[in-house]
Amino acid sequence: MPSAFKGESKAAFRSRITNGSAVLPGVDGRSLWVRRLRDVIAAHVSDLGGPDAISEAEHSIIRRVATMTVELERMEAKFATKGEACAKDLDLYQRTAGNLRRLLEAIGMERRSKDVTPSLQTYMANREAAA
């Protein structure tokens, strides 16, 4: 290894995107758009079990899902501000939403019902504790 590289870790040679310190090259990570993108990425990664539980391919799909989500939100804000959507914008919105659904299905994200009723044992234990 050349002397200029002695003592530097391999992480020092990875891109800012790979090591997680940037989302996109040359883009200010403090912008509202990028901050929302990061939030959406983090939420989906969490839904799939965290960063150690997903493959690089799944992470790539999640980035695209997050981008589409942020852009759909921007379109929704535009529709709400104007009070309407023109046919061209509505068509783009519908196509983007459909592609988003397909990407979410590709990584196995689907609606899951949540059981909100306690088991009989839990109900009885809570009832006894309250008495």
State the pTM of this model: 0.70
Enumerate long-range contacts of 74-81, CB under 8 Å, 24 or more apart.
74/33
Residues 31-46 have pLDDT tens digits of 999 999 999 999 999 9
**125: how many CB neighbours lie within 10 A of its CB?**
12
Share of the chain residues as helix, strand and coil, in percent rounded to the nearest 5: 65, 0, 35
Residue 119 makes CB contacts below 8 A (sequence gap 6+) with: none
- In the chain, what are the domain boundaries? 9-110
* Tokens 């989906």 found at: 44
| Lowest mean pLDDT, pick from 2-6, 79-83, 103-107 | 2-6
Residues 102-126 have pLDDT tens digits of 999 999 876 566 666 778 888 888 8
